[in-house]
Structure 1
């Protein structure tokens, strides 16, 4: 039951982020094109699982894009706001699908579940 609630909650967060993104009049096609760019962080797994988990978790933590959203609003940098919204939407979509932050033991072990 708790998994269903978490997945649904992140699904709504993804849809809300997409709605806000579209209300800001950013390109939907650019959203689709850039949505999976944060997954480049998985390349750290080429080195080893410890580095892979570190890179993945940095790329999939909401802290950096949230700070960038704040900075983009404060500094009025629309491109940074667009990128940050896409980044945070990616994170919400991942969590909706059950992909969480990784443990160094295995790519399949996440803070949400074993994938």
Structure 2
């Protein structure tokens, strides 16, 4: 099951980056904002439960999809850009095996435990 979810993440990432390119959006903005969702990891300084809640809130597709819809509906390229960058970020995380977090530890995810590479 995990491999299917990782493949799904890769496919969503491919769709997001293709849409970003087709809409002619700013690559500078993409570079600047790509890692912004990972700032949510700082919440782990308050403990694993708070960290997981904050990380998961920022790594769900719901909010960026709302932004995509708002950007599309309003014609705002900035809002559309942010939504696509955010979707791409989440999808790449999932493709790499960084899933939503359990309260036990950062390494415990819905895609399995993240093991350190030696």
Name the TM-score class by shorter chain: over 0.9
Structure 1 segments of 4+ aligned residues over 4 angstroms from their partners: none
Using the alignment, how far apart are the partners of 2:5 and 2:106 within structure 1?
20
The Cα RMSD (Å) is 1.1
Using the alignment, how far apart are the partners of 1:39 and 1:45 within structure 2?
11
Using the alignment, how far apart are the partners of 1:68 and 1:29 within structure 2?
19
Q: Is residue 61 of structure 1 aligned with residue 60 of structure 2?
A: yes
Deviations 1:66-107 (A, max 9, x none): 111111111222111101100010000000000011011110
**When the two structures are aligned, how many residues end up with a matched partner?**
114
What are the ranges of 5 or more consecutive residues in structure 1 without an aligned counterpart? none
Length-normalised TM-score, structure 1: 0.93
Using the alignment, how far apart are the partners of 1:49 and 1:5 within structure 2?
27
Q: How does 1:1-115 map to 2 (within 5 A)?
A: 2-115=1-114
